[in-house]
Amino acid sequence: MIPFIDLQAQRLRLGGKIEAAVAEAVVGGAWVMGPQVRQFETDLAAFGQAKHALGCANGTDALALPLMAWGIGRGDAVFVPSFTFAATAEVVPWFDAEPVFVDVDEKTYNMSPAALEAAIDGVKAEGRLVPRVVIAVDLFGQPADYPAIKAICDKHGLKLISDSAQGFGCTVDGAHPLKWADVTTTSFFPAKPLGCYGDGGAVLTDDDELAQLMDSIRVHGKAVAVDLKDRTFDHDPKYLNMRIGLNSRLDTIQAAVLIEKLKVFGQEIEWRNAAAARYNEGLRPHVSAVPDVPAGNVSNWAQYTIEHPDRDGLAAHLRAQDIPTAVYYPIPLHLQPAYEHYPRGAGGLPVTERLKDVVISLPMHADLDEATQHRIVTAVAAYKG
């Protein structure tokens, strides 16, 4: 079987650097939030054009940190796409707030600004919930339409989170989503474009106070500088608990892995773009749609996803030739048992409900070579359904 995401090829390409970094972290002995975590946070902030980057336990907690810092709770509406991984919406009911599901754009699969506007107007007209936050997702690696979404957030006084768990490293006209968002969140789950060797996540922000609050919340609500400015505490401020927090730290070993992987991440995004261009060229005549990346956007190609009228037949045909595929996402969140009772934007989610039956993702990773791609393209082209 061809690998769907070949992380062993990446490990071998890095020639023992990761193993050496892990061994050094083990010997160093500061296994949680050690010096490699600080180093990685500095490197990550520089890469992401952010003032602050903070590691945390995973990409789900990364979404919870700003919601907690802003005091999101009962009666609050958080606008999210339904065509995304569950974590995007899951964190909202943690705090008794409600996710409001918004449809996506036909071409980019990302939150539709028009559908967002309609959803906000609907929530306001109903009057039951107060609009507070928008979580835009960079689905499959492509940036959401941040200029349009940010304008809507400003008009309605809403905070904006960019859930870049898949899209970290993507840009709009050369700028990372944080140019528009209050905070960018990401995941270092191994299969994500920038993955570690276990679970990990991070938040990035230019907002000094938000950074401090999230730093506090990730360590059980410990006291941070803003808390101590008008009071004294003679002991370690981590034992002065100012607010309810989490245990959401990044492991030192994971930071050590990530320091090495971040060094080559920019190059890998270029390789992924080259692979995507080869796929587009070979597949365009044979499928209903190849991915559409508007001018000015750079995707990191977390997934390479096409549309095909007989997606399941194509998957079986490819599997018989040892070519794996995946379907993201066969059941959008607003149709899931855990989420179906939450509100939907005005007009429903017709695009999301169409996409769920036609999308299929092909192998994609930085080490995907031309010969393997040729084999995949030829196999797709040969499928006559």
Ligand X SMILES: *Cc1c(COP(=O)(O)O)cnc(C)c1O
Q: Helix (H, G, I), strand (E, B), or coil: what is residue 136?
A: strand
201 binds ligand X (CB under 6 A): yes
What is the per-residue binding string for ligand X in 210-249, x denoting contact by CB under 6 A? ----------------------------------------
In angstroms, what is the minimal distance from the CB of 71 to ligand X?
A: 22
What sign results for the dihedral spanned by CA atoms 83, 87, 90, 95? negative
Give the integer Cα–Cα distance in Å for 300 and 48.
13
187 binds ligand X (CB under 6 A): yes
State how far the alpha carbon of 17 is from the alpha carbons of 162, 262, 280, in Å.
31, 12, 33
189 binds ligand X (CB under 6 A): yes
The residue from 59, 221, 343, 345 that contacts ligand X (CB under 6 A) is: 59
The residue from 6, 47, 48, 60 that contacts ligand X (CB under 6 A) is: 60
State how far the alpha carbon of 21 is from the alpha carbons of 28, 30, 120, 125, 255, in Å.
10, 13, 47, 55, 9
The residue from 50, 77, 79, 84 that contacts ligand X (CB under 6 A) is: 84
In angstroms, what is the minimal distance from the CB of 30 to ligand X?
A: 23
The residue from 82, 88, 162, 184 that contacts ligand X (CB under 6 A) is: 88
Q: Helix (H, G, I), strand (E, B), or coil: what is residue 185?
A: strand
193 binds ligand X (CB under 6 A): no
163 binds ligand X (CB under 6 A): yes
Kindly report each contact of residues 110-114 with a partner whose C-beta sits within 8 Å and lies 24 or more positions away, as own/partner.
110/81, 110/136, 110/137, 110/138, 110/139, 110/142, 110/143, 110/144, 110/145, 111/79, 111/81, 111/136, 111/137, 111/144, 111/145, 111/149, 112/351, 113/145, 113/148, 113/149, 113/152
165 binds ligand X (CB under 6 A): yes
Write phi, then psi, for 375 (nearest 5 degrees): -60, -40
Q: Which is nearer to ligand X, 198 or 282 (CB)?
A: 198
Give the integer Cα–Cα distance in Å for 177 and 295.
16
Total residues in contact with ligand X, by rule CB under 6 A:
15
58 binds ligand X (CB under 6 A): yes
The residue from 5, 87, 351, 380 that contacts ligand X (CB under 6 A) is: 87
The residue from 166, 254, 325, 361 that contacts ligand X (CB under 6 A) is: 166
Residues 15-34 that bind ligand X (CB under 6 A): none
Residue numbers of the site for ligand X (CB under 6 A)? 58-60, 84-85, 87-88, 137, 163, 165-166, 187, 189, 199, 201
